[in-house]
A = this chain, B = another copy of it.
Amino acid sequence: MANLKDLGEFGLIDRLSGKFKHQASKTVLPLGDDCAVYSTSPSKYQLISTDALVENIHFKSSTILPEQLGQKAIAVNLSDIAAMGGTPKRVLITLGISKKISISFLDQLYKGIHKACMFYNVELCGGDTVSSPKSFFINITILGEAKRGKLFTRKGAKEGDMIFTTGTLGDSSLGLKILSNKQLKCSSKSKKYLLKKHLNPIPRLKESRLLTRSSCKVTSMIDISDGLTQDLQHICKQSGTGALIYEEKLPQSQAFLKVCSDNNSESLPLILNGGEDYELLFTLASDGVKNLYRQFEKAKALVTHIGEITESSKKVSLLRKNGEKIILPQSSGFNHF
């Protein structure tokens, strides 16, 4: 029998969920996207997603304040709603409380949760609190809604579509590197910027809303949580396509460029596989692109064309600055096991 490490997260999910028939006729998308989608009324879809953060796996109490953790826990779930073109509505929170957790930690955690919920107009509507003998964990379930006809999924990219990403890539994983490596050369301004990208990610709800309201035809979308390569593979796998992205077009922040250069660090692994960017990665039929740029500029939101969807035999490839074309390896996701 295989072991968990060999199966990987996605292999395990396929194995465990494979037997389930999806018999509920009102379920539009059961598994395998950022949210499950179902229908309860004619005009809109209901979105739901759940995510757990476990101490010493997803965060270390020594590097994130409880208030930041609360905000981030909500933000990463909001990002799943944004990835489908949805509007977040409600949240349920399960806390697994270990012995060393104090009330003041929980007060601060909820201060962060409360801030994020107020800011994004999301209601806390339930949850569970249990004790967990060793590690603290928090599980968030988020509910949202999307208009029919304006639901973006991972499936639907077509050969010739342009690939875009919001924001800049790699900042969050470089921020994490700074937290764990005190030796890195880094100005206090760069440090502040990169840590903020890691500790306090902004879910791209504004950008998602621009896309749902725009006349551009978004053909697929995902949020970059596992890294650009991984999440682009998800789009290509579900759409039955390949993709080509250009190294020179990958958007990087000033701080990211500076810290990588000052430390002679390779930037590409962070950009491609770093994860936790929580930017939106989406594909678009090429007509109407000018309109898109105008709308993003008006909203002061960053969007970058980074490549094209190709036929599936071309795999997911990267054109390096030196002209070399490499096939990006398939991975089984951030391997928890």
Residues of B contacting A23 in the complex (Cβ-Cβ under 8 angstroms): 121, 123
Q: How far is the CB of A318 from chain B (nearest CB, A)?
A: 29
Most central of A15, A23, A41, A103 by chain B CB within 10 Å: A103
Complex interface bits, A111-138 against B, C-beta within 8 A gives 1, otherwise 0: 0001001000101111111111111010
| Residue of B with least CB distance to A114 | B19
Q: Which residues of A92-112 have CB atoms within 8 Å of chain B's CB atoms? A: 92, 94, 96-97, 101-104, 106-107, 110
Residues of B contacting A137 in the complex (Cβ-Cβ under 8 angstroms): 96, 132, 137
Binds B, one of A54-62, A184-192, A246-254: A54-62
The one of B40, B123, B127, B135 that contacts A50, using a Cβ cutoff of 8 Å = B127
For residue A31, CB closer than 8 A to chain B, the reply is: yes
Please determine whether A337 and B106 come into contact, CB atoms closer than 8 angstroms.
Answer: no
Q: How large is the interface on A (under 10, 10 to 19, 20 to 34, 35 or more residues)?
A: 35 or more
Complex interface bits, A36-48 against B, C-beta within 8 A gives 1, otherwise 0: 1010110010101
Please determine whether B336 and A22 come into contact, CB atoms closer than 8 angstroms.
Answer: no
Residues of B contacting A27 in the complex (Cβ-Cβ under 8 angstroms): 90, 123, 125
| Residue of B with least CB distance to A124 | B20
For residue A72, CB closer than 8 A to chain B, the reply is: no
For residue A216, CB closer than 8 A to chain B, the reply is: no
Q: How far is the CB of A29 from chain B (nearest CB, A)?
A: 8
Binds B, one of A3-11, A147-155, A156-164, A260-268: A3-11
| Residue of B with least CB distance to A12 | B129
Q: How far is the CB of A74 from chain B (nearest CB, A)?
A: 12
Question: Bound complex: CA of A48 vs CA of B2, how far in Å?
Answer: 36
Please determine whether B336 and A131 come into contact, CB atoms closer than 8 angstroms.
Answer: yes
The one of B1, B126, B134 that contacts A103, using a Cβ cutoff of 8 Å = B1
| Residue of B with least CB distance to A13 | B129
Q: How far is the CB of A244 from chain B (nearest CB, A)?
A: 31
For residue A52, CB closer than 8 A to chain B, the reply is: yes
Residues of B contacting A337 in the complex (Cβ-Cβ under 8 angstroms): 97, 131
Residues of B contacting A101 in the complex (Cβ-Cβ under 8 angstroms): 4
Residues of B contacting A57 in the complex (Cβ-Cβ under 8 angstroms): 130-133
Given contacts A23-B123, A54-B132, A131-B336, 19 further A-B contacts (CB under 8 A): A1-B103, A3-B102, A4-B103, A17-B110, A17-B124, A22-B125, A27-B90, A30-B125, A31-B125, A48-B125, A48-B126, A50-B92, A54-B96, A54-B130, A54-B133, A55-B133, A57-B130, A129-B336, A131-B337
**CB-defined A-B contacts under 8 Å, sample of 22:** A4-B102, A12-B103, A15-B103, A17-B124, A23-B123, A24-B123, A30-B125, A35-B126, A40-B41, A40-B44, A40-B145, A48-B126, A49-B126, A51-B94, A52-B128, A52-B139, A54-B96, A54-B133, A56-B133, A97-B337, A128-B139, A130-B336
Q: Which residues of A contact B (CB under 8 A)?
A: 1-4, 7, 9, 12-13, 15-17, 19-20, 22-24, 27, 30-31, 35-36, 38, 40-41, 44, 46, 48-58, 89-90, 92, 94, 96-97, 101-104, 106-107, 110, 114, 117, 121, 123-135, 137, 139, 141, 143, 145, 336-337
